[in-house]
Structure 1
Amino acid sequence: MERDNPIKITDENTALTKAMRYCAYQERSQQEVRDKMYEWGVAGRIIEIVISRLITENFLNEERFARVYARSKFNQKHWGKIKIKQGLKLKRVPDVLIKKALACIDLDDYMAALQQLLQKKAASVKEKHPLKRRYKLQQHALSRGFESDVILDVLKNNEL
């Protein structure tokens, strides 16, 4: 929701205080903070100063953000690694940190979550033809961001 007259913050301290409050509420990526400050009408040169102060004072930490994002999307929304990776890329998190964040997801938990997702979907799929049924389950898991080889392994090892 855009306003006709966006807030214009020209004072560095005001921008810093507001950004600190924004970051204290939940983990943020640098890009989210940058976008929010543009929304507030903060001047470009002030934005970069504020970002570096937030990093120095540990309000912003890209690695911490990436780990929290990956963990929460996996635990709460049951997203697969592909979808989590896409989400982090949209937040402009560096690839190195994305890899670290994805490595934090326990493989056993990951496989269990995929199996549970497929079992839940299998209960609602009405298709009787085995190949069509398997395809529908596979497509559902793909749409949730799981890797096709992992999906095929789970489908092969379970009668769904």
Structure 2
Amino acid sequence: MESKKTHTVQEATKKLEHFCAYQERCHKEVRKKLEAMFMIPEAIDVIIVHLLDHNFLNEERFAKAFVRGKFNIKHWGRRRLTAELKQRDISKFNINQALAEIDDHDYLTLFSELAENRANVIKEVNTYKKRKKFIDYFLYRGWESHLVYEKAYELIP
């Protein structure tokens, strides 16, 4: 028979404070972590309220940090960012605020740079297959289809 490690509310609160201080977290991650610690629903609610009150947990801040990081490092487009935030149960309002942080000029400039690099990297002789690989690459990363198709026909005639 397995014994489950149990935590008091105070111990769990301290652990979750460190968990949230280390990196921005969303409510869903925190709830999942507490459930993995075998906390009862009432204790989970108490701890989440404490984290919110002491500003360890903030969905708006999480959404902005998430968008900034994934856009700058992984070069995801707006559609992928939106989908990932929705998966984490972030409100539409916070998603829109976070996406508004991306400057349109920077967004299009980055897309153009990535597209030119990608078009040069794809080693395919058949024009249709090369275009398909190009399009699939950018659609998977969440770039808007109208941008992707325009760029594909521009760079791969």
TM-score (normalised: structure 2): 0.90
Q: Deviations over 1:73-126 (max 9, x none)?
A: 000111111111111112111111111111111111111221122122111222
Aligned pairs for 1:96-135 within 5 A: 96-135=93-132
RMSD: 1.7
Give 3-state SS (helix, strand or coil) of 1:27's partner.
coil
Q: Report the count of equivalent residues.
A: 155
* Conserved? CA contact 1:83–1:145, under 8 Å: yes
Aligned pairs for 1:1-160 within 5 A: 5-9=3-7, 11-155=8-152, 158-160=154-156
TM-score (normalised: structure 1): 0.88
Q: Deviations over 1:136-158 (max 9, x none)?
A: 211111011101012234445x5
Cα deviation for residue 5 of structure 1 reads 4.2
* Conserved? CA contact 1:83–1:146, under 8 Å: yes
Deviates more, 1:54-63 or 1:133-142: 133-142
Q: Identity of counterpart residues, as a percentage? A: 35
* Conserved? CA contact 1:114–1:141, under 8 Å: no
Instruction: In structure 2, list runs of 5 or more residues that go unmatched.
Output: none
Give 3-state SS (helix, strand or coil) of 2:31's partner.
helix
